[in-house]
Amino acid sequence: MNESQTEPNYRAISVITLIQTGVIVAGTLFVTAMCKLKGYGGGVVPDSFFNSAALFVRSSGWTLLLIPVLWATFAIFAVRFELHPWLQRALIGIGIVSILFGIYHYIILGFNPCIL
């Protein structure tokens, strides 16, 4: 009764996907707040003063949620069809690296949403 009904591979995929989703949601909110804090949309600073990547994240950051969906799809496909073990490990590594990559770029973009 105390056993989990899922395999460890699926649990790892679920955890990594949830962390990726959390990074995207938190990062989008962080960049949005920092743009607003720097004066975006207030009329004080022209909107062309802001980085186009920061404006994309602010207005369409929810589309980045496709990244965890696609990653989870590929990872589940690799586990379900028992592809090479090195490919499964590579996908897990790519998932972890994408989390770190996302955190780094959201922080850089949030603290520097302006061009100058």
User: What's the whole-number mean pLDDT along residues 13-35?
Assistant: 95
d(C-alpha 79, C-alpha 71), whole Å: 12
Q: State pTM to two decimals.
A: 0.87
* Percent of the chain at pLDDT exceeding 90: 63
Any idea where the domains of the chain sit in the sequence?
9-111
Q: Distance between CA atoms of 104 and 101, rounded to whole angstroms?
A: 5
Q: Which of 43, 99, 47 is nearest to 71 (CA)?
A: 99
